[in-house]
Amino acid sequence: MTVDQANPAQENHSPGLRLDDGSRVAVIGGGPAGSFFSYFLLQFAKRLGVELCVDIHEARNFAIPGPGGCNMCGGIVSESLVQNLAAEGIVLPANVVQRGIDSYVLHTDVASVRIETPLHEKRIAAVYRGAGPRGSKPTEWRSFDGYLQELAVGEGAHVVRGRVESVSLDGGRPQIKAPNGAPLTYDLVAVAVGVNSSTLKVFEGFGIGYAAPQTTKTYICEFFVGRDAVEKRLGSSMHLFLLDIPRLEFAALVPKGDYATLCLMGEEIDKPLVQAFMDSPEVKRLLPAEWNASPDFCHCSPRINILSAVRPFADRMVFIGDCGTTKLYKDGIGTAYRTAKAAAKTALLEGISANDFRRHFWPTCRSIARDNQIGKLIFAVTRQVQRRRFARRGVVRMAAQEQEKTGGRRRMSTVLWDTFTGSAPYRDVFLRVSHPAFVAHFVRNALAGSRPKEIQSS
């Protein structure tokens, strides 16, 4: 059952639950969702003249390189999120952005094509969620998650180091037990732990109707390539791959300083699939001929959502970010921003009962979940393109012709850009793909691409 299937008639109506002066709020998880929620909650409270105590419970230290400070994410901040943050007055510092992405290069077995950012601006940011890969040397770069947490602390939040051991109820109020500490009672708990945390099991057995999202395994790693090689071979482009490899939905190499971040997403990514990808000529051409991965390179196999949580709210509880709902395969940080802000706005302006969250927070989750259904259709179509050489030729040929022209509609280029960067809702992408003019152009290029003449790589 998805978030769409929650039955409003089953709500436990508890009118009058609100945050007032002196209310205590716990945020479990200090990643983007938790930090965004704390930041917006405290900002809204100040505007209303309400004094709150906000504790962010986070075990990780984002200033530590490697697993101790890592949030297991590729670290791409989408174009739309950069714009939204700027509108909030949040401008990412230069030492947080590892590299500004000004284009991406789509690689296929028939050719490659470089696609410039639609407005010719560097508006996509490649970041490290922690302090960098395991074994990396201290640099001037800062953690993206650490920066967001600093913003929340600057608004008045307190960071409580340590993993939450248990959650219970104390007179109807949530009570949290952290290691080596007395239980703390709160008026509201915002859960922002992500789907790879064992903490979610506590809430599944809590009797509030919550069930964690369905997930699939992915693969993320950091390859040390060297700054010169990264600059020469990857540049300021995100490199995407449309290859006929079973179970692979999405693959990207992202330049970051001395490293290249590899992200593979699809159906239960495993070692044979990773090896098949690394052995492909399209990947080998991007890496130095003499290059080999270090035996102890930083890598992980986190799980990501493929279906939203059931009932991500209750009286005095709300689930935000990945443990509630997130965009399919893309822009998890942007979805964390959306759900966190919606939850904070609801808590301050509407109330903290299950009914308040159902009426004012749930529509945001439902919109994302419904858009993901369209996303699944788009990726089903993408799989068919991956399997057919003439279709892959058509995609590259159409995009290459658009990039060579000045002015005019860049139908394929913008569809690819928004699909692979997550900068637009899947619904918008689908409407553009199903437009008669797009279909006609694609069919013409696919038929032309089936001829023997090869497409020249950009």
pTM beyond 0.95: the answer is no
Q: Which one is predicted more confidently, 8 or 26?
A: 26
| 96-134+216-303 classified as CATH 3.30.9 | yes
Quick check: do 3-71+144-213+307-373 and 96-134+216-303 share a fold? no
Going by pLDDT thresholds of 50, 70 and 90, the confidence category of residue 190 is very high
C-alpha to C-alpha distance for 20 and 25, rounded to whole angstroms: 11
Going by pLDDT thresholds of 50, 70 and 90, the confidence category of residue 1 is very low
Going by pLDDT thresholds of 50, 70 and 90, the confidence category of residue 12 is very low
DSSP, collapsed to helix, strand or coil, labels residue 90 as coil
C-alpha to C-alpha distance for 361 and 350, rounded to whole angstroms: 10
CATH superfamily of 3-71+144-213+307-373: FAD/NAD(P)-binding domain (3.50.50.60)
Q: Answer yes or no: is pLDDT of 2 > 70.
A: no
Map out the domains of the chain as residue ranges: 3-71+144-213+307-373, 96-134+216-303, 375-449
The tokens of 274 are what? 């990773």
Going by pLDDT thresholds of 50, 70 and 90, the confidence category of residue 140 is low
Average of per-residue pLDDT across 218-237: 91
Q: Answer yes or no: is pLDDT of 4 > 60.
A: no
Going by pLDDT thresholds of 50, 70 and 90, the confidence category of residue 61 is confident
Q: Answer yes or no: is pLDDT of 11 > 80.
A: no
The tokens of 54 are what? 């906000």
- Percent of the chain with pLDDT strictly greater than 90: 57
Q: Answer yes or no: is pLDDT of 5 > 60.
A: no
Provide long-range contacts, Cβ within 8 A and 24+ apart, for 152-156. 152/34, 152/35, 152/36, 152/38, 152/39, 152/42, 152/54, 152/56, 155/38, 155/39, 155/42, 155/43, 155/46, 156/42, 156/52, 156/54
- Residues present in the chain in total: 458
The tokens of 130 are what? 């922690």
Q: Answer yes or no: is pLDDT of 193 > 80.
A: yes
What digits encode the pLDDT tens for the residues 30-51?
999 999 999 999 999 999 999 9
